[in-house]
Amino acid sequence: ENLESLLKSLYLISGLNINFLTSMKPAASYPHQKYPFCYALSKNPEALAHCTASDQQAIEHVKREEKIYIYQCHFHLYEGIMPLYSYGSLTGHLMLGQTITKSPIHHAQVIETASPFFENKEELYDTVSKISFNHFFRLSIVFIKNALNKMFKA
């Protein structure tokens, strides 16, 4: 319950979906549902495979580097992952996302890449329009990391 309350607070501050992973499996998240865009893609096995591969690459990267990793997923959305430590020991990972810039070029990239997985183009445009926009994505992630490190005394 406390973890969910913390994730909700971080979501309200950043506007980013937040998933807490332990042993690389979801332990808690806020909000509980995916963005409509990601949810729609997850219903298509091929699209879901792209998402899973992108997440797995990010997890492997952060395991190697042991620091925040900000990247674009296969569908060009910005996401981040960071390791969480408690008293110097790895306790889990926080995945944050998804966000998009206001750039029409960026929106066009997302739409072009996702288009083969949407039969209904209106649904595609509608779900892309609902993706969170965060000017301060990198700053939000650093803020969250610093707040969590203080809480967990990393």
Q: State pLDDT tens for residues 53-67.
A: 998 999 899 989 988
pLDDT digits (tens, 9 = 90+) for 136-153: 666 666 667 766 666 655
pLDDT confidence of 154, banded at 50, 70, 90? very low
Distance separating alpha carbons of residues 51 and 95, to the nearest angstrom: 13
Edge to edge, the sheet with strand 78-86 lists 25-30, 17-22, 89-99, 78-86, 69-72
The answer to whether the CB of 92 falls within 8 A of the CB of 22 is yes
Q: Is 131 helix (H, G, I), strand (E, B) or coil?
A: coil
